[in-house]
């Protein structure tokens, strides 16, 4: 399995680079929002935690 991780601050072109890599290689783009959307269906992140202490 080939895996490339593109990491950086917001709005610097990571997605653009990912799309270009997908065009010139046999790799597939796995966008981080795909994982966030999937996981958020199982966990309720809108609920505030109670602090015990």
Residue 2: pLDDT over 70: yes
Label residue 50 by pLDDT band (50, 70, 90).
low
Label residue 49 by pLDDT band (50, 70, 90).
low
Residue 53: pLDDT over 70: no
Label residue 47 by pLDDT band (50, 70, 90).
low
Domain boundaries, the chain: 16-45
What residue spans of the chain are helical by DSSP H?
A: 14-24, 32-40
CA distance 26 to 4: 12
**Over residues 31-38, mean pLDDT:** 80
> How many CB atoms neighbour CB 40 within 10 A?
12
């Amino acid at each position: 399995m080939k895996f490339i991780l593109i990491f950086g601050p917001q709005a610097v072109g990571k997605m653009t680079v990912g799309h270009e890599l997908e065009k010139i290689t046999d790799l597939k783009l796995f966008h981080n929002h795909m994982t966030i959307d999937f996981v958020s269906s199982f966990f309720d992140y809108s609920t505030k935690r109670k602090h015990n202490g």
